[in-house]
Amino acid sequence: DAGITQSPRHKVTETGTPVTLRCHQTENHRYMYWYRQDPGHGLRLIHYSYGVKDTDKGEVSDGYSVSRSKTEDFLLTLESATSSQTSVYFCAISVGTDNSPLHFGNGTRLTVT
Amino acid sequence: GESVGLHLPTLSVQEGDNSIINCAYSNSASDYFIWYKQESGKGPQFIIDIRSNMDKRQGQRVTVLLNKTVKHLSLQIAATQPGDSAVYFCAEGLTGRRALTFGSGTRLQVQP
């Protein structure tokens, strides 16, 4: 898991509530990513970060925000969760130079009821 | 990971046979390609990668083939083992853009 810890591993929440998922890395890598994984869609990029306080949107960023106040932590927030955000969320880091593989955490399964 | 299995194409092989998993990528400008393996309840795990200036790369029991003309990538697994049973994803990248774009995956089932 390349020193990546995601928390919580499982969460059930109600529609309209705020939810924050945490990704923690132990190796001080600059690039961090949040993906969601849904049947039939593979992994889709939500947001990514290229340094402390430097973030950018991915292809499915609507309804999500992120923050990176420390190198080791990348937070994903659903301000008002919806049922369409029920998914498995994966954090990833890039450990090398450009064109290098991403390394993933073990995911957070989020259910919005 | 369990929900990933729905709607996936499945390849079923006998233990000891060779497996070939195919992927069509979307962006003709992509210059970096990766194969990942994902087991139930876990995140994707890197297997092998290849850059666009190559058409073949070999690892331990795995080979990746790249055909840029038809935007096709394949993963060959030699002497497939029960531990190879998983979902396999291809991903494509582009120099200067750190994020990867993923395919929807193929489930490999190895029959003993």
Are B48 and B54 in contact by the 8 Å Cβ rule? The answer is no
**What SS3 state is found at B3?**
helix
Cβ-defined contact of A58 to B99 (cutoff 8 Å): yes
Q: Which of residues 33-72 of A touch B (CB under 8 A)?
A: 33, 35, 37-45, 48, 50, 58
Place of tokens 């666009």: B52
Burial class of residue A18 (count of CB atoms within 10 Å of its CB; 0-12, 13-18, 19+): exposed
Over the stretch A2-57, which tens digit does the pLDDT of each residue have?
Answer: 689 999 999 999 999 999 999 999 988 999 999 999 987 789 999 999 999 999 99
At residue B99, the pLDDT reads 85
Cβ-defined contact of B42 to A37 (cutoff 8 Å): no
Q: Which of A31, A32, A37, A46 to mutate to test the interface with B (most CBs of B within 10 A)?
A: A37
User: If chain B, 112 residues long, is cut into consecutive pieces of 10 residues, what is the mean pLDDT of each piece?
Assistant: 58 97 93 95 95 96 96 97 96 86 93 91
Cα angle, residue B89 at apex, residues B85 and B94 outer, rounded to 5° = 155
